[in-house]
Amino acid sequence: MRYLKVIAQDPSGSGQPDSLHFRFYEGEQLLREATALERQRLKALGATYSKCAWYNTGESEERHLRIFSLNPSVDGTPESVRLHFHEGPTIIYKAAVHDLDNDGAFEVILSGDVDNDGYANRTDRNRVRALVREFLTVGW
């Protein structure tokens, strides 16, 4: 399974993540880091992810997001995009969107409290929608 791994770090201990890594994986194997052009395209995703408060203090890489699309009909538009928020190998929480009629728009957004503010609400669903939209701009 191919996925994009996003890692946010707060090496300065400022309480805000200020270092982001974008890496493409196949299973447990690192394929490559995002190129400069991809980093540019992923800038908005990084900003949205930083609001999810799922980052590492120092330079740890334990906490991260794995995001991937599923397109069983192989028609160019994904049927689902899934987001797994990890602590090391363990999935701590998840979100997903589904395109039920395969028209390229996601009717179903499944999301809990992705930004860890204690409330599962429309803001979380908007963050999931934004993360998915921004992820799909790199065409992975």
Q: Tell me, residue by residue from 47 to 76, as one string, x for binding to Ca ion by CB under 5 A and - for no binding.
A: ------------------------------
DSSP state of 58: B
- Which burial class, exposed, middle or buried, applies to 73 when counting CB atoms under 10 A from its CB (0-12, 13-18, 19+)? exposed
38 binds Ca ion (CB under 5 A): no
- Pick from 3, 124, 131, 138: which binds Ca ion (CB under 5 A)? 124
Query: Stretches 26-34, 55-63, 71-79, 117-125: which one binds Ca ion (CB under 5 A)?
Result: 117-125
The number of residues that bind Ca ion (CB under 5 A) is 10
For residues 107 and 132, is the Cβ–Cβ distance under 8 A?
no
| Cα separation values, 90 from 53, 56, 93, 108, Å | 17, 15, 9, 25
Computed over its alpha carbons, how large is the radius of gyration of the chain?
14
Residue with smaller CB distance to Ca ion, 38 or 115: 115
User: Least CB distance from residue 84 to Ca ion, whole Å?
Assistant: 17
Distance CA 2, CA 68 (A): 7
- Pick from 59, 105, 122, 137: which binds Ca ion (CB under 5 A)? 105
- Pick from 77, 113, 136, 140: which binds Ca ion (CB under 5 A)? 113
Instruction: Name which of 42, 21, 50 is nearest 33 in CA terms.
Output: 21
User: Least CB distance from residue 77 to Ca ion, whole Å?
Assistant: 9
What residues make contact with Ca ion under the rule CB under 5 A? 99, 101, 103, 105, 107, 113, 115, 117, 119, 124
